[in-house]
Amino acid sequence: MKKLFAVLFAAAVGLAFAQPVTIGILSPLTGGAAGTGQAQRAGFELALKEINEAGGVLGQPLRIVIEDDRADPATAVAAFEKLMTEDGVEFIAGGFSSGATLALVESFRTFQPIVSWIGGASSGIGNDDFEGIEELLGEEEWFFHIHPWDYQNVEATFGFIRDLGVQSVAVLHEDGAFGTPGAAGLEAGVEAMGIDVALREAFTSTLTGGTGDFRATLSKVGAANPDMLYWIGYDSDAQPLSSQLKELGVAPKYVFGAPPGWPTGIEQAPEMECVMGLIGYLPNLPNPEAVAFAEAYRAMHGTYPDNYMAALAYTQLWSYADAINAAGTTDQAAVIEKLKTMTFRSPMGEWSFKPSTIAKHQGFGADMWLVFQFQNGVREIVWPADRATAPLAACR
């Protein structure tokens, strides 16, 4: 009898291990953030191909199910609940908009899968009247956050702004969960450096229903005459903001944009010349991991990656595969333990999850960021100096 039970048990275990692991992904494949969502999908597809060519996960081909959340809160909640109830996934990946992520908080708590998130930078840190994603989810054992938080984003630029010798900054920001806390952190940081915040204005992003007409706000920037215009919004705001600056003849010495992604091909637009921004990855990074990723991406998709979210998505899926394989099981506690303790590979170099201000499991921090400048249709890295691909161009 014992022998029969052992055979049946072994068969049951074998059947369980025969089931492929499926990871559910939320990404804005359509709508105003589609450029970033499509970049994420391209990164996931490359990682999936490589993972399965390397033997898959737990001896089976890994499967992914990507749902379009449109960066819209209601759509994101419905897509997540479909992944949990119809697709039966145990692991969630992807993520972009802070507003959509905040809408997902209660659904995440209800189902409590392992959530590894590459967007949703809104921390809530430093804003007494607002609870951000880090405050709401950061202490959850099953929540892993890969993208830097908003305060880490602005922190990354402080050294650059100081090096420029900027004396005054005008801050424009989208009026939602992403831009408002980021602008507060930026304002506090630059004021602490003795830099004057000549203007701080909120606008409604084109991603969240704005008209894309920034002329009235930009006229205020012109009147304030700052050394630098620093705007925090979404990728769909980048071109109208830059076009209308030119149209109005508003020309601060430096224009710095901080969207979570940049539209594909925007570097070719004449109005983008000299605009600066943050980027987590560019194909011209000199480290071997970046070069290998860029060439593999080009071989699969026919072009080089132009959005760092492709690199983060690639990194995220590989971290799941490595952690589940190291655990040897899909048991949640075992996989969490591996995610917490392992070091992972990425196009940006080795990384691991560490505590941040509140969160138990934070991936990249301020040191992930590079400052680039659009120069003659190319994004050239201009800071920090040891990773620069070109000197900063003087445009005024």
Would you tell me the crossing angle of helices 73-85 and 98-111 to the nearest 10 degrees? Answer: 30
Which residues contact residue 9 at a Cβ distance below 8 angstroms, ignoring those fewer than 6 apart? none
What is the predicted pLDDT for the residue at 127?
A: 77
pLDDT at 12: 45
Torsional sign, CA 328, 332, 334, 337 = positive
Read off the pLDDT band of 6 (50, 70, 90): very low
Which pLDDT value is given to residue 9?
43
Q: How confident is the model at residue 284 (pLDDT cuts 50, 70, 90)?
A: confident
337 CB-contact burial (10 Å; exposed 0-12 / middle 13-18 / buried 19+): middle
What pLDDT sits at residue 313? 98
- The residue that leads in pLDDT, 5 or 22, is 22
Residue 56 clears pLDDT 80, i.e. is over it: yes
Secondary structure of 182-208 in the HEC alphabet?
Answer: HHHHHHHHHHHCCCEEEEEEEECCHHH
pLDDT, averaged across the chain: 92
Under the banding of pLDDT at 50, 70 and 90, the label for residue 18 is: low
Task: Evaluate if residue 25 carries a pLDDT over 90.
Answer: yes
Tokens of 327: 């655990």
In DSSP terms, 114 is beta-bridged to 91
Could you give the CA distance from residue 123 to residue 130 in angstroms, rounded to a whole number?
9
Write out pLDDT tens, residues 145-171. Answer: 999 998 898 888 898 999 999 999 999
pLDDT at 123: 92
pLDDT exceeds cutoff 70 at 3: no
